[in-house]
Amino acid sequence: METPRAAGRYRIERLLGSGGFAAVWLGHDAQLDAPVAIKILADHWAQRTDLRERFVQEARLLRSVDSHRLVQVFDIGELPDGRPYFVMSYADKGTLDELLAAGPLPLNDALNLAREIAHGVAALHAHGIVHRDIKPSNVLIRSTDGADRIMIADLGIARTDDRLSSLTLPAGSPGYMAPEQTQIDGAPDRRSDVYGLGALTYHMLTGRPPSENRRLPSEVQPTIPHNIDAVVQRALEPERERRWASAADFAQALSQTLGKVDTDPLPHTRPVPKRPRRRRRLLWTAGGAVAALVLATGGTVWMVTKDDEPAPGASAPKKEHGASMGDPGGRWLRTDRGIPPQYRRLIVRAGTWCEVRGLSPALIAAMLKAESNFDPYLSDPKADEYGIARWTPSVLMHWQPGGSNNPAPRPADITPELSIPAMGRFLCSLGRQIQNVPGDPALNLAGVYRTSVDSVKKARGVPPAYKPYAQKVDQYLKDYRPN
């Protein structure tokens, strides 16, 4: 492919990428002293009037939508050989596809980015445009003001509302295209983009695009809560009538799950030196207009704007009284049984993490009493167990914020603020697998915590070797339950 020297006033420096339809080059705007991306129609298509019009239409559609979540078009023109081109924002950080090559994103990063992308697609829909090719390589990453933003690109096969009823041929990308996009005259509409958003979110959460016989996200990554399964699965429904009705609804559903997902960074009792292993971490700026997602793969700061106005009929996630107030009135736990007051809020938070039979703040408190007598400094190197909940670091790694994308915590890092909420995640995820096991559901949960799901299933309850432990938990449970 011959490198053109310039496109209008823009100097062309090097090829960024190419496909069968067009190539994208890195250019430089000398007047503004700024890098730009220049998309040029492939020379073997330049004589096709219909393809030229489609190429120019892509530029017009991008230009018509005023959103920072979409690639912006600044200029349009023709090369001396007649090939059309248009000039757009340069994504200096590459694509989401390149980011995902390293594996799944941390849970909160994936959800926030999915919500940002959904808002971008909603902006297209508000202008009567259906993208039809939502996939990681069409989500670009650009640094701006010291942070990174996503930009949706490539409207090459997009359709406007006035053309959705016309004959459509199969179009899209395998793994991300809705079933109706694989059919001749399948009449894809905005719900086809919802499917694409669901597939993209699934990929960010699990590290792979969904297949026909896909597993739930939580089955691939155990740290993913089941309410997120429901949001993503609804977007991926084969029948479009059963999907979220719009990208905006999908974004709002993600927002509601974010209210129920722990987004705290890994806590430290003291400053910890940086480790050579690269990791991704999350930082929220509470109460600000912006939430900054910190991906330490390169020290990236993601700027994620707060939600747009809630979708009609949507409500903000409810906060448990006990979780937000530390249970001062004893709604969840007795106040006269020696539960350390500094841990009550964390205990209530863990015990109300989800709805699983047997799970309660009283159970969490009883297990902490049995495990360590509420000793936050417990250290048992022989058993490799540490802290108030007797976590093994290599196990806790999977239940900490960010899951196994973060390294295993050091014993000194296993604080109550990390340990106790992790118990809630653990019991919510694995507890659902023993709901049909006979016996006391609370003690069965305690048995899983000390052994495994398979052991409790095989024993049809708490394994005999752990009965004394379960008996202690049962006694404390009775002490801590409110009257």
CA torsion, ordered 338, 340, 346, 352, to nearest 10 deg: 10
pLDDT for 158 equals 80
- Secondary structure (3-state) at 479: helix
Pick the closest to residue 85 from 51, 59, 50 (CA basis).
59
Per the annotation, the verdict on 148 as an active-site residue is: no
342 and 470 part of one domain? yes
| pLDDT interval class at 154 (50, 70, 90) | confident
Name the pLDDT band for 2 (thresholds 50, 70, 90): low
Shared-domain flag, residues 156 and 21: no
Residue 279 included in any domain: no
- 141 shares a domain with 51: no
36 and 112 housed in the same domain: no
Helix (H) or strand (E) holding 76: strand 73-78
d(CA 313, CA 275): 46
pLDDT digits (tens, 9 = 90+) for 26-59: 999 999 999 999 999 988 788 888 888 888 988 8
Q: How many domains does the chain have?
A: 3
Provide CB contacts within 8 A for 151, sequence distance 6+: 68, 69, 70, 71, 72, 89, 91, 120, 139, 140, 141, 142
How far apart are the C-alpha atoms of 56 and 76, rounded to whole Å?
8
pTM of model > 0.85: no
118 and 52 together in one domain: no
Tokens representing residue 11 in the block: 């100097």
Could you say which of 109, 133, 189, 249 is catalytic? 133
What is the model's pLDDT at position 269? 33
Q: Would you state the pLDDT for residue 265?
A: 38
62, 88, 114 - which closes a domain: 88
pLDDT of residue 49: 85
Clarify whether residues 258 and 186 are in a common domain.
yes
Q: Do residues 375 and 423 share a domain?
A: yes
Chain center to CA of 309 = 20
Q: Which residues have C-beta within 8 Å of that of residue 476, sequence separation ≥ 6?
A: 365, 366, 369, 370
Are both 354 and 476 inside the same structural domain?
yes
In this structure, are 331 and 475 located in the same domain? yes
Q: What domain range includes position 343?
A: 321-480
Same domain membership, residue 126 and residue 82 = no
41 and 63 together in one domain: yes
For residue 213, the model assigns a pLDDT of 84
- Residue 317: is its pLDDT beyond 80? no
CATH of the domain at 108: 1.10.510.10
Q: Is 274 a domain residue?
A: no
CATH number of domain containing 329:
1.10.530.10
pLDDT in tens, 215-249: 999 888 887 888 999 999 999 999 999 999 999 99
Quote the mean pLDDT of the chain: 81
- Residue where a domain stops, chosen among 46, 68, 88: 88
pLDDT digits (tens, 9 = 90+) for 408-445: 888 988 999 889 999 998 998 888 889 899 999 999 99
C-beta separation of 403 from 221 below 8 A: yes
pLDDT tens for 126-136 read 999 999 889 99
Q: What CA–CA distance (Å, rounded) separates 320 from 147?
A: 34
pLDDT exceeds 50 at position 268: no
Q: What DSSP character marks residue 153?
A: -
Residue 282 DSSP SS3: coil
* pLDDT band at residue 483 under the 50/70/90 scheme: confident
What's the mean pLDDT in 1-6? Answer: 75
pLDDT for position 140? 94
Token code pair at residue 139: 């989500």
Query: What are the tens digits of pLDDT across the range 98-115?
Result: 888 888 888 888 999 999
| Residues 84 and 167 reside in one and the same domain | no
* CA angle 430–444–379, rounded 5-degree value: 75
Position 405 scores a pLDDT of 57
- The reply to whether 274 sits in an annotated binding site is no
Which is more confident, 303 or 299? 303
